Amino acid sequence: MEEQRISRTGEIRRLSKDDRFKVLGVISKASVRKDKNGRNYWDIAVMDEEGILEGKIWGNSKWWDKSGDGQIEISDPASSELFREMTGKTLGLAGQVTEFKGQAQYNFNSVYYMNQEKFPPHRFVQRSPYDADTLEKEFMDLVEACDGPVGDFLQFVFFEKGIWEKFKDWPAAVSHHHAYVGGLLEHTVAVARTARSLAETYAHSGYEVNVPVAIAGALLHDLGKMDSYRLSPAPEMTVAGTVIDHIVLGYSMYASMAGEYTLDERLFAAIGHILVSHHGCREFGSPVLPATPEAMVVSAADELDFRLFCWKNAVEQMEDGKEISDYNFSAQRRFWKWEQGNGA
């Protein structure tokens, strides 16, 4: 691997059909499947500091152990110690860009098990592109903007209960959006900032909106993601995350801390309602629809942040000269990189 140039995932996404590439990163997802001839193939995702690249390793690929001196071919990867559990390991991959139904697809035809001490997996874990100290300061400012019992309760949850240390590094997903270290904080701050400004705008227009409750609901809305995901070292879904989901997990964490704090009953219900309704509709996992102004602004801010993130991600991955993105399954649309004077 070392003698040939290694590309980052961001660079690979801008390649064209038939281009070849090599990448080095930590495997964030790997599952073995059978093709129609009964041969094994793997769906994998490789992560480096720039992002995640999903692709396939087909049955005719070559597998190598490069953890010692030289390289040894592995003939039966499915039963090999090294490749049986690839998630969380640093691998080198050589592959080619192909096209499937008009979309780029990445096929890996050589797989190298790397020396895990020389190439530690945590080195390749993607981080939030935003400065951690700036995000932390913004989070503190939002907590401070909530005076009275709501602000005191937030201090209790994040700092007295010791949640902050884990919260600030947690991912917000394993794919789709903010699926990297610090993603939960980045997303939470963005949602709370938008919810605050929407709440203030409507309060200014004479609506009865409780701004601190909207901010608190936004800061707590995805609390359950702390139990839904784990870092090992790439983000992974936990069993609880899969079978219970972050809305129920978050509400239960919130309810137990609010009980311990003896939060006022009306405030408890108002903030709890934001947590359970934030996905906006039953099909997306909320048992009730947002029924208060505070819940409506948090749910709108959450959806907006998700869609804008998908737009940003899609346009960053577009080849030069293109203005319409590939179909984005998460957001169910193609995005447009609009520029003024573009023939308009």
Residues that bind Fe ion (CB under 5 A): 222, 302
Burial class (CB in 10 A: 0-12, 13-18, 19+), 130: middle
Q: Which is nearer to Fe ion, 150 or 195 (CB)?
A: 195
Q: Which is nearer to Fe ion, 227 or 302 (CB)?
A: 302
Half-sphere exposure of 266 (CA within 13 A, CB side): 3
**DSSP letter (8 states) at residue 77:** G
Closest CB 175 distance from Fe ion, rounded Å: 14
Closest CB 219 distance from Fe ion, rounded Å: 11
Q: Which is nearer to Fe ion, 86 or 271 (CB)?
A: 271
Closest CB 328 distance from Fe ion, rounded Å: 18
| Cross-strand pairs, 96 | 20, 107
Q: Which is nearer to Fe ion, 48 or 302 (CB)?
A: 302
Tokens of 7: 């590309």
Q: Which is nearer to Fe ion, 186 or 302 (CB)?
A: 302
Q: With beta carbons less than 8 A apart as the criterion, state whether 156 and 265 touch.
A: no
Q: Which contiguous run of DSSP H or E holds residue 259?
A: helix 246-261
Closest CB 218 distance from Fe ion, rounded Å: 9
- Alpha carbon distances (Å) from 20 to 40, 57, 80, 142: 23, 14, 27, 47
Residue type, 99: E
Closest CB 147 distance from Fe ion, rounded Å: 25
What are phi and psi for residue 43, nearest 5 degrees?
Answer: -100, 120
Q: Which is nearer to Fe ion, 15 or 300 (CB)?
A: 300
Closest CB 224 distance from Fe ion, rounded Å: 8
Q: Which contiguous run of DSSP H or E holds residue 27?
A: strand 20-34
